[in-house]
Amino acid sequence: MRLIRSLLVVFASVSSAANAQTSASARTIVLHADRMITIANPAVVRNAAIVVTGDKIVAAGPASTVGVPTGARVIELGDVTLLPGFIDSHTHIIGRTLGDPMSDLSSVKDYQGYAAILGVENARNTLMGGFTSIRVLGSGDFDDLALRQAIEDGRAIGPRIEAAGHALGITGGHCDENGWKPGLLQLGPQQGVANGVEEVRAAVRYQVKYGAGVIKTCATGGVLSEGDAVGVTQYTYEEMKAIVDEATKLERKVAAHAHGTEGIKIATRAGVASIEHGSFLDDEGARMMAQRGTYLVPTLMAGNVVEGFAKNGVLKGLRAEKALAAAAAMRKGVRIAAQRHVPIALGTDAGVIPHGTNAKEFGLMVEWGGLTPLQSLTAGTLNAAKLLGWDKRVGTIEAGKWADIVAVPGNPLEDIHRTESVTFVMKGGVIYKGQGAQ
């Protein structure tokens, strides 16, 4: 039944996505709301208006100064705050979600292509949650790239995607498939499992050849993998530097999964663009990251979820122990990062958390990390756009940028949890949720 439901979502998405994109061609829409936070300017704009023509923002500001172009369609949104479309810098949009009874067996039991079908529904839920752009950090069989193509072609509804293809890691490490008998799921450089400088260079080249826009690597062990300690280093500095150097030559950034303190420092010295999770970050590591402009993507929601699964028995044994240790450390690590002015970009590890609930990360960054609501919003818009290299196109509400706009009830600067109740979603000038949706 789940497969049938997913297929129906695919077919519905094909029709509605194509119709929406066609109807957005060159029309002019004016969005009018009680408030707007452009992120480019921290001040709240009252009685705000945004003029959108086609897929671009033409003007934004107080309604009294923006005006209404002749023939434009005006959409009155009322007591909401207009914001740039949210950006999640760390997702796994393909396949099953943690907690699904089949999630641990999916790699050996699900048919090839089933994960991508699930990805269509996941992508739609993510967009409806207000996330108009995401970075997908690892999936098998390049399913993330297939989904990206389907969305770009108008055959599915979802956010803009920056995709990594296969994540790169050592044999038996967090980015490998472990816990199976010898010979089952024996992976190599083409699937991202690479050892030594030459193999990791080849693995980077292979991902880029097939469309990866970012390189994901595992610098330390992880929570959900079998047989490795969560904080232990995996790639050496020489291997990590080779990954970064090769990616840089090919004009790609590197995102490094790193929980442990030493792995964070090795990856930072090697020149990665971002540290994912950063659970056991210490003061020295935070200073290094701040000096180099290395982003932290803290994935606090994932820490919260795995901690709960460990306490209620969904995770057992070593994985439960790792979940509890990482979640406890994460609360301290993100505060150290904020205090040391490490740039922070929102990321949820969606796939560990249910797709579409991503906006809860805003609240956790305030509650666990000590960020202000504005800093939290910036982490999930402009900062994330800078990390992806997309800040000239998205991340703020400004003339000339893509019309990626969301609305939340009330004022999120007074209650950051308002971000969890998105009432309006526009991506590229097309309204997908709320008044005027196709």
Class of domain 2-85+395-433: mainly beta
pLDDT for 437: 85
pLDDT of residue 184: 56
Helix (H) or strand (E) holding 203: helix 196-209
Cα separation, 109 vs 95, in Å, equals 12
Q: Single out the residue of 184, 261, 252, 178 nearest to residue 217, CA to CA.
A: 252
pLDDT digits (tens, 9 = 90+) for 349-370: 999 999 999 999 999 999 999 9
Q: Which residues contact 260 (CB under 8 A, 6 or more apart)?
A: 220, 221, 230, 231, 232, 233, 279, 280
CB 77 within 8 A of CB 436: no
Q: What's the one-letter identity of residue 94?
A: I
**126 Cβ contact partners less than 8 Å away, ≥ 6 residues apart:** 88, 91, 93, 134, 158, 159, 350, 355, 356, 358
Q: How confident is the model over 322-330, as a mean pLDDT?
A: 92
Mean predicted lDDT score pLDDT of the chain: 91
- DSSP symbol at 142: G
Helix 237-249 crosses helix 261-270 at what angle (to 10 degrees)? 40
Joined together, the tokens standing for residue 362 give 């805003």
Q: Tell me the C-alpha to C-alpha distance, in Å, between residue 371 and each of 53, 129, 208, 291.
A: 35, 22, 35, 20
Q: How far apart are CA 268 and CA 233, in angstroms?
A: 13
The region of weakest confidence among 173-177, 210-214, 277-281, 382-386 is 173-177
The pLDDT of residue 395 is 98
Closest CA to 37 of 57, 64, 61: 61
What is the C-alpha separation between 42 and 175, in angstroms, rounded?
A: 39
User: What pLDDT shows up at residue 60?
Assistant: 98
As a whole number, mean pLDDT of residues 325-343 equals: 96
pLDDT band at residue 3 using 50, 70 and 90 as cut-offs: very low
**What average pLDDT score do residues 119-135 get?**
98
Q: What kind of architecture, by CATH, is found in domain 86-388?
A: Alpha-Beta Barrel (3.20)
Q: For 174, which DSSP code?
A: T
pLDDT digits (tens, 9 = 90+) for 154-189: 999 999 999 999 999 998 777 766 565 576 566 667
Q: How far apart are CA 100 and CA 436, in angstroms?
A: 35
Decide: residue 46, CB within 10 A, 0-12 exposed, 13-18 middle, 19+ buried: exposed
Confidence class of residue 22 from pLDDT cuts 50, 70 and 90?
very low
**pLDDT for residue 102 is more than 80:** no
The pair of three-digit structure tokens given for residue 326, joined into one six-digit string: 């990482």
Averaged over 374-399, what is the pLDDT? Answer: 98
For 304, residues 6+ apart whose C-beta sits below 8 A from its C-beta are 327, 364
pLDDT at residue number 265: 98
d(Cα 385, Cα 54) in Å, to the nearest integer? 21
Write down the pLDDT at residue 109.
Answer: 63
Delimit the CATH 2.30.40.10 region(s) of the chain.
Answer: 2-85+395-433
The per-residue pLDDT for 187 is 66
Indicate which residues carry an active-site annotation: 216, 349
Confidence of residue 4 (pLDDT cuts 50, 70, 90): very low
Q: How confident is the model at residue 190 (pLDDT cuts 50, 70, 90)?
A: confident
pLDDT at residue 16 in the model: 54
Is residue 20 within 8 Å of residue 438, measured between CB atoms?
yes
* Structure tokens that stand for 163 in this block: 């995709």
Instruction: Give the mean pLDDT of 136-152.
Output: 93
pTM of the model: 0.91
